[in-house]
Amino acid sequence: MQATETRKLPESVSSQPDTSTGPCLTRADVRGWPATVLKDEGEGAARIVRFDLPDGGVIVKEWAPRRSRLLALWARVLMRREIRHYRHLAGCPGIPPLLGSEGDTVLLLRYVEARPIHRSLPRDLLRAGLNDLERVLSAMHARRFVHLDLHQKLNALIDAEGRAWLIDFGQGLDCSRGLLRRMLFPALAQVDRNAVLKFRARYAPDTLEPARREAVISRFGVRRDRWPKRLGRVLRRLVTGGH
């Protein structure tokens, strides 16, 4: 139902949060505006809702399980990490701005109108998005941060102008500190870059360099068994008691 009063995003978060003072949007600021549930799989995963405000959409991601203490602890760990990572990447191209957070269970992001990378995208748009994805990764890696979950294609998006966006940073790693992380950074960054090669091999092989096209397609172009993902779903059901 449409809200009866006219409210806009606070000045400090209307486009990009002021990182010197921190994000300041709360759920109270979006409550009452038209909402669309984008993901709700029960307590085993975060609930994601888009709110349509006059100045643009806002994503509210919340994960606070109540049936399992173990799952609740894991959810807080992941949400805390993701909030910290969005703050670390503030202002980085291709990363939706963090608009606010509440404890270790809720984060609010600027909504980006974009679609997951897929072969069904228009050819020119797909080519532009893949090229821009490499630029986004370079900017993110310049901050010594790795995503590590780009094998999940829903985390890499392309908008109508061919710009790439990355989301879901709960599995990421800040390699700007810690000797071991700094040592592992080159190899971990290559994991992210390999995701781009996989997308090219599967959806746009003509964008690969001819000299290495056959080798890349042989390595990344064949869809392999997804047993790790299926195992993860089984373990999640066991932890949540089937909910």
Look at residue 70 in the predicted model and tell me its pLDDT.
94
**DSSP bridge pairs for 164:** 158
**Residue type at 204?**
A
What residues have CB less than 8 Å from 236, skipping those under 6 apart? 44, 45, 71
Q: Which of 176, 151, 177 is nearest to 166 (CA)?
A: 151
Answer for the pair 98, 87: CB distance below 8 angstroms, yes or no. Answer: yes
Look at residue 111 in the predicted model and tell me its pLDDT.
97
Q: Which of 239, 132, 140 is nearest to 189 (CA)?
A: 140
Fold of 114-232: Transferase(Phosphotransferase); domain 1 (1.10.510)
Give the residue carrying structure tokens 């449409």.
Answer: 2
Look at residue 152 in the predicted model and tell me its pLDDT.
84
What residues have CB less than 8 Å from 155, skipping those under 6 apart? 147, 149, 166, 167, 168
Helices 179-203 and 210-220 meet at what angle, rounded to 10? 100
| CA-to-CA dists, residue 151 to 11, 221, 228, angstroms | 36, 13, 12
> What is the bridge-based pairing of β-strands 106-110 and 98-102?
antiparallel
Look at residue 232 in the predicted model and tell me its pLDDT.
53
CATH class entry, domain 26-110: alpha beta
CA distance 188 to 184: 6
| CA-to-CA dists, residue 50 to 42, 163, 189, angstroms | 17, 21, 31
Look at residue 12 in the predicted model and tell me its pLDDT.
38
- Digitized pLDDT (tens) for each residue of the chain, 243 residues in all: 333 343 445 443 434 444 434 548 999 999 999 999 999 999 999 999 999 999 999 999 999 999 899 999 999 999 999 999 999 999 999 999 999 999 999 999 999 999 999 999 999 999 999 999 999 999 999 999 999 999 888 999 999 999 999 999 999 999 999 999 999 999 999 999 999 999 999 999 999 999 999 999 988 876 655 555 555 555 555 554 554
The dihedral built from the CA positions of residue 119, 121, 127 and 129, taken in this order, carries a sign that is negative
Other residues' Cβ atoms within 10 Å of the Cβ of residue 134: 14
Look at residue 14 in the predicted model and tell me its pLDDT.
39
Q: Is 4 helix (H, G, I), strand (E, B) or coil?
A: coil
Which tokens hold the place of 24?
Answer: 């300041």
Look at residue 226 in the predicted model and tell me its pLDDT.
53
Q: What is the residue extent of each domain of the chain?
A: 26-110, 114-232
